[in-house]
């Protein structure tokens, strides 16, 4: 009896430290939402530089931006120390390059069937959408930053208003985010990346065109004033031009943020809806 009690107490004593360790440390902690988004971001951002496509994209963007600024807008011949000749072409470059950047984010995943594999990972749809979007936007901002030698050249030749130029670069980055969110959202609607590109270019064109007077004059013939004002406020071009002039308006900042938030939310809903089918 004494030996049985000793063995029992010895056995219990051997289990107690293990049980106490489980109670003290608890279950394995899961990564936070920010950590999951960062992991997706790092993987997607590194993917852009794993192939020569990134170099081709950046070289083409910088070359076309410089060509339009010098040859079409006369950056040096204008005789003014500013970058208006550069920024006036950014909406149209973004209309082409942002759909090219975002058209394959989800269409290729759906076409290859790898989206089912992504859904099995310990990630939410929101984590994947946000991580992929931020990686694509960061890549676009890298291409934009490589145009800063124009800023340095203008500063060397004259005395520009650096605050206005900085506001122009920030406005361009926010415009790229707006157009990219359109492309990413439409990429989730189809398996064909070419179809996603065409739809994205058309949608971005409409988003920019509603701020032009030719569209507003057309609606002014039969609609009321508040319709015209609503169309102007919905145009990405209107808010972009306001910031590039160095005029800070809270509406010009809230517009791209609200559009990006709304379209990414729709993107999550589309992926969840298609995943449930």
User: How many CA within 13 A on the CB side of residue 272?
Assistant: 12
How do residues 155-207 score in pLDDT, each as one tens digit?
A: 888 888 888 899 999 999 999 999 999 999 998 888 888 999 999 999 999 88
Residue 115 has pLDDT above 70, yes or no: no
- Asked if the structure places residue 130 within a domain, the reply is yes
Cα–Cα distance list, 177 to 115, 133, 257 (Å):
23, 9, 9
- Asked if the structure places residue 15 within a domain, the reply is no
Instruction: Write down the residue that tokens 């992929």 correspond to.
Output: 132
- Asked if the structure places residue 88 within a domain, the reply is yes
Residue 265 has pLDDT above 80, yes or no: yes
Confidence of residue 277 (pLDDT cuts 50, 70, 90): low
Q: Residue 265 is encoded by which pair of tokens?
A: 């939310």
Q: What is the pLDDT of residue 26?
A: 35
Domain with 181 in it: 30-275
How many domains, in total, are found in the chain? 1
Q: To 10 degrees, the CA torsion angle through 207, 210, 214, 216? A: 170
- Asked if the structure places residue 254 within a domain, the reply is yes
- Asked if the structure places residue 23 within a domain, the reply is no
- Asked if the structure places residue 16 within a domain, the reply is no
User: How many residues does this entry show for the chain?
Assistant: 277
Q: What is the pLDDT of residue 125?
A: 83
Q: How much is the pTM? A: 0.81
- Asked if the structure places residue 3 within a domain, the reply is no
Q: What is the pLDDT of residue 32?
A: 81
- Asked if the structure places residue 212 within a domain, the reply is yes
Residue 117 has pLDDT above 70, yes or no: no
Higher pLDDT, 260 or 83: 260
Give percent above pLDDT 90 in the chain: 33
Residue 213 has pLDDT above 90, yes or no: no
CB 104 within 8 A of CB 93: no
DSSP state of 1: -
Cα–Cα distance for residue pair 75/90, rounded to 1 Å? 14
Confidence of residue 70 (pLDDT cuts 50, 70, 90): confident
All residues at 6 or more sequence positions from 1 whose CB lies less than 8 Å from its CB, including other chains:
none
């Amino acid at each position: 009896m004494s030996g049985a009690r000793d063995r029992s107490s010895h056995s219990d004593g051997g289990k107690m430290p293990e049980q106490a360790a489980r109670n003290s440390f608890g279950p394995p902690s899961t990564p936070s939402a920010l950590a999951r988004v960062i992991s997706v971001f790092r993987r997607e951002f590194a993917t852009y530089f794993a192939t020569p496509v990134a170099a081709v994209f950046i070289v083409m963007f910088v070359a076309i931006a410089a060509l339009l600024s010098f040859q079409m807008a006369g950056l040096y011949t204008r005789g003014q120390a500013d970058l208006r000749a550069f920024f006036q072409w950014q909406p149209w470059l973004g209309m082409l390059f942002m759909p090219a950047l975002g058209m394959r984010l989800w269409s290729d995943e759906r076409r290859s069937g790898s989206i089912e594999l992504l859904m099995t990972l310990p990630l939410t749809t929101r984590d994947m959408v946000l991580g992929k979007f931020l990686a694509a936007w960061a890549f676009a901002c890298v291409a934009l930053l490589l145009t800063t030698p124009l800023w340095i050249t203008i500063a060397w030749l004259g005395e520009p208003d650096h605050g206005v130029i900085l506001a122009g670069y920030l406005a361009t980055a926010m415009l790229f985010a707006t157009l990219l969110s359109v492309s990413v959202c439409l990429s989730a609607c189809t398996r064909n990346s070419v179809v996603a590109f065409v739809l994205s270019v058309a949608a971005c064109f409409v988003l920019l065109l509603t701020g032009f007077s030719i569209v507003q004059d057309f609606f002014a013939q039969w609609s009321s004033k508040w319709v015209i004002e609503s169309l102007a406020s919905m145009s990405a071009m209107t808010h972009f031009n306001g910031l590039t002039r160095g005029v800070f308006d809270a509406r010009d900042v809230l517009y791209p943020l609200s559009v990006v938030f709304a379209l990414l939310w729709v993107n999550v809903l589309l992926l969840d809806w298609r995943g449930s089918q």
